[in-house]
Every structure is written in structure tokens, then in C-alpha cells.
Amino acid sequence: MKWLENYSNPAYALLRIVSGLLISFHGTQKIFGLLTAHHPPVGSQLWIGGLIELVGGLAILVGFQTRLAAFILSGMMAVAYMQFHWKFQFGAAFWPAVNQGELAVAYCFLFLFMATRGGVMWCVDKKA
């Protein structure tokens, strides 16, 4: 289906925009306690992670410094998986299907891909 190649950049831009929106919503939940029962204390590691998700997600959403924001978010998601899902404990479940870390792993590799590609199109830091 070679005709789909014509749509790879717009499809990637939509992937970038939606992913930025979704991760920024996770940050909004942590920072402002929206739609969740768990509100981490201000300045805690979880709260700082939420701030990174919010700011980085918005940067990816609008296409501002996409490579840098995606690289930081990719690393943060790797830490989130290892620290909060796998937990590096003897006997702790490594597999994402067991420890509910699928989203952290998916975001980690999605943002790593975005760090390699950048904003591509529909970005505030691209020249018109």
C-alpha cells in the first residue's frame, strides 16, 4: 500500500499531538489531582514526574523542542517502569502484563522514537 507513504508525516504529527495531549493529562492528574483519588505531595518524586509529564507533554503537543522533550520523557518513562512497576526487588514481576507497566514501556519507546524524528510538521518551532 504505497499510497499510504504520502500520509506518513501527517500521521506522525497526529501521533505526536495525541501522545503529547495524553501524557500531559497524566501530569495534570498528578499536579492538580484531577479525576484521581491519589494526589502526591508537592515536591515529591511523583509530583515532579507529573510536572515533567505536563510540561514535556505540552511541548510535544505543540511541537516545541520536540526532540529534547521526548528524550527526557522517554528516560522518565524508563525510570517509572523500573522504579514503580518492576521495583528492582527480588521476586518482583518483570513482565509488563503482570506489573501493569505496559503504558510506561509503550510511552518510553514512543518518546524515544519521537526523539529521533523530532517535530516534522505542525510545530511552533518550525519556520513557515
Instruction: Collect contacts of 75-80 with beta carbons under 8 A, ≥24 apart.
Output: 76/49, 76/52, 77/104, 77/105, 77/107, 77/108, 77/111, 78/104, 78/108, 80/49, 80/104
Q: 125 vs 14, which has greater pLDDT?
A: 14
pLDDT tens, 34-74?
887 778 889 999 999 999 999 999 999 999 999 999 999 99
Give residue 82's identity as a one-letter amino acid code. Answer: M
Give residue 54's identity as a one-letter amino acid code. Answer: L
- C-alpha 95/C-alpha 36 separation (Å) is 26
pLDDT bucket at 88, cuts 50 / 70 / 90: low
pLDDT tens, 14-24?
999 999 999 99
Maximum distance among all alpha carbons in the chain? 54
Is 90 exceeded by the pLDDT of residue 112? yes
Q: What is the pLDDT of residue 127?
A: 62
Is 70 exceeded by the pLDDT of residue 92? no
